[in-house]
Chain A
Amino acid sequence: MISSNLSAIFYLISGILFILALRGLSSPETSRQGNFFGILGMIIAISVTFLTVGNFSSAMNYVLLFLVIGGAIGAFIAFKIPMTAMPELVAGFHSLVGLAAVFVAISAFLNPQAFNLGSTGNIKLASLIEMSIGAAVGAITFSGSIIAFLKLRGIMSGSPITFMGQHFLNLILGIFIIVLIYFLCKTQSESFFWGMMLASFLIGVLLIIPIGGADMPVVISMLNSYSGWAAAGIGFTLENTALIITGALVGSSGAILSYIMCKGMNRSFFSVILGGFGGDTTVGKEKKKDQKPVKSGNAEDAAFLLKNASSVIIVPGYGMAVAQAQHALREMVDTLKKNDIKVSYAVHPVAGRMPGHMNVLLAEANVPYDEVFELDDINNDFANTDVAFVIGANDVTNPVAKTDPQSPIYGMPVLDVEKCKSVLFVKRSLSPGYAGVDNELFYRENTMMLFADAKKMTEDIVKNI
């Protein structure tokens, strides 16, 4: 058994190691070292906890057993999961953090002596408040992430589910939770505790169902943030520095990512949270469709254009992930490079279903990360480029966002694809993107539509070059 002062210092060290883990991610070169710091911090935190408790009874065997079981499941998932499934994996992991926070809070509520929080039925007021907040946020994270997981996995439809008085109901539930926490603190009664948990699970579901599929980058980031705040809440209850530091780090990290994602869509955080955007009921898309002529081509035409270009910019989007076209795309780019054509990639901040989704997929296909550029870094290059190859992206290239103040996506930062000499647009149909806005780009003189599955089309182009 080690003294609580010593263990507090070790918890501080592991907190600092976690900070270094995030710091490492500022560049791909230092990132692996950063991850190692994270692992080290975790090992320290767990070992110190064992030494502090110092109770090596028979329960210890079970603790180790469950640690190994959980670890084996986690390792199995980590090695098996395809990179395209990363968004749902992250959502799933968030739900586990949330549920773990809930379980720890329940356990602390049932046996406060073990955590030095007072005795059953007579828990310190401050601890009770911290515990309730941690448990409530944890429960919201859990049920919200489950819904996000189901939507990303396609088990549940990605279109928003809305009903009358939804926001009002959420508000009532939110107030109800606060009232329950108040009475819990006053009476220490178990029933208020369970009631509060139940209401929190419910509100988590209700908060996420109205949010549509392409707003998922914001939702995942937000749930990431919630899982951090839940951990911090529990950290206050347990008076544990490592947990408080980590919770604050993760909480602010998720919040910043949500902000970046919202900015990438030019939408306020609240409009995303209130949801209902991008439903199936899109007005006006039918009548516009047949009016304007569209130039479409096949793989041969595309190959001809690409072969005769001297520079090409690839614009990947969610469609590439769905079609798993990243490897075929890399093959195409390799062929182009052999012909001395300069190729780079342009990634929009909200392309895909989670922050950095496209970058991971491209990295998986062995695309060097210094060929992949962010919106601001590459947008000026389109004007000097021969061909833009848009694969699976749509709204993020729509020039309407710059020209039409009436458009729902007006003001959203977009890639200036139309400035290229010619644009190749791989898409299955002319249907509008998620925002329900017709893409003006389809009808431009210099655009050639390639109607096909992204992967198949890319493979065909390779054959024809």
Chain B
Amino acid sequence: MEVDPFIFRFSIFILSIFVGYYVVWSVTPSLHTPLMSVTNAISSVIIVGAIIAALASSSNDIFEMSNIFGFLAIILAAINIFGGFLVTQRMLQMYKKKKKDKK
């Protein structure tokens, strides 16, 4: 019997949780705030769904209810993507080493 594709996706999901677990434990505590803002930015990859929703055409009308929700989701996700990555960048730029002695 063939395996349901859902099981494949579920496997990816579970493995990613493990990857996330080990990767996040290795994040240095002083970078926990940038970690939150960058996870914020990447979780906005949900924009993928928003784009599909916005471009879907069941009729000639591009402003059906489902499209409108897609457009709204694009705005929200775009705020997050740009805001999240840029603010992370801004924070990371501030982390500097001691000037004189190199450690």
By a beta-carbon cutoff of 8 Å, the part of chain A in contact with chain B is 11, 14-15, 18-19, 21-23, 25-28, 31-32, 34-35, 38-39, 41-42, 45-46, 49-50, 53, 55, 57-60, 62-63, 66-75, 77-79, 81, 83, 86, 89-90, 93-94, 96-97, 99-101, 103-104, 106-108, 110-111, 113-115, 126, 220-221, 224, 227-228, 231-232, 234-254, 256-257, 260, 347, 349, 354-357, 359-360, 363-364, 366, 368-372, 374
Smallest CB separation, B32 vs chain A (Å): 3
Residue from A68, A103, A232 having most chain B Cβ neighbours under 10 A: A103
The answer for the CA separation of A114 and B35 in the assembled complex, in Å, is 34
Chain A residues within an 8 Å CB radius of B28: 25-28
Smallest CB separation, A442 vs chain B (Å): 28
| Interface contact A103-B97, CB-CB below 8 Å | no
The answer for the CA separation of A249 and B74 in the assembled complex, in Å, is 22
Least CB separation from B95: chain A residue: A28
> Known interface pairs A14-B45, A42-B81, A78-B82. Does A253 touch B24 (Cβ–Cβ under 8 Å)?
yes
| Interface contact B81-A97, CB-CB below 8 Å | no
Chain B, interface residues (CB within 8 Å), range:
35 or more
| Interface contact A239-B48, CB-CB below 8 Å | no
Smallest CB separation, A233 vs chain B (Å): 10
8 contacts between A and B (CB under 8 A): A21-B42, A39-B85, A71-B79, A78-B82, A90-B37, A97-B77, A100-B47, A248-B17
From A70, A114, A252, A359, B76 is in contact (CB under 8 Å) with A70
Smallest CB separation, B66 vs chain A (Å): 4
From A42, A69, A250, A370, B103 is in contact (CB under 8 Å) with A370
| Interface contact A359-B31, CB-CB below 8 Å | yes
Least CB separation from B103: chain A residue: A370
| Interface contact B69-A81, CB-CB below 8 Å | no
Least CB separation from A50: chain B residue: B51
| Interface contact A103-B62, CB-CB below 8 Å | no
Least CB separation from A245: chain B residue: B16
| Interface contact A114-B56, CB-CB below 8 Å | yes
Residue B1 lies at the interface, judged by CB distance under 8 Å to chain A: no
The answer for the CA separation of A35 and B87 in the assembled complex, in Å, is 11
The answer for the CA separation of A90 and B83 in the assembled complex, in Å, is 10
| Interface contact B53-A73, CB-CB below 8 Å | no
From B14, B43, B103, A227 is in contact (CB under 8 Å) with B43
Residue from B40, B45, B53, B89 having most chain A Cβ neighbours under 10 A: B45
The answer for the CA separation of A326 and B19 in the assembled complex, in Å, is 36
Chain B residues within an 8 Å CB radius of A103: 50, 53, 69-70, 72-73, 76
Chain B residues within an 8 Å CB radius of A235: 9, 13
The answer for the CA separation of A161 and B96 in the assembled complex, in Å, is 41
| Interface contact A231-B55, CB-CB below 8 Å | no
- Which B61-75 residues sit within 8 Å CB-CB of chain A? 62, 64-67, 69-75
The answer for the CA separation of A374 and B20 in the assembled complex, in Å, is 23
| Interface contact A74-B43, CB-CB below 8 Å | no
> Known interface pairs A96-B76, A355-B29. Does A28 touch B92 (Cβ–Cβ under 8 Å)?
yes
From B5, B32, B64, B86, A74 is in contact (CB under 8 Å) with B86
| Interface contact B96-A249, CB-CB below 8 Å | no
From B23, B26, B64, B90, A79 is in contact (CB under 8 Å) with B90
Smallest CB separation, B70 vs chain A (Å): 5
Chain B residues within an 8 Å CB radius of A50: 51
The answer for the CA separation of A240 and B45 in the assembled complex, in Å, is 10
| Interface contact A114-B66, CB-CB below 8 Å | yes
Least CB separation from A374: chain B residue: B29
| Interface contact B69-A25, CB-CB below 8 Å | no
Nearest 6 Cβ contacts at the A-B interface: A70-B78, A114-B56, A356-B32, A74-B83, A74-B82, A248-B16
| Interface contact A23-B26, CB-CB below 8 Å | yes
A32-B89, A42-B45, A63-B55 given. 18 additional CB < 8 A pairs?
A: A14-B45, A21-B38, A22-B39, A35-B34, A41-B42, A45-B48, A68-B78, A73-B83, A96-B44, A103-B50, A104-B69, A107-B53, A107-B73, A110-B65, A126-B6, A245-B13, A356-B29, A368-B99
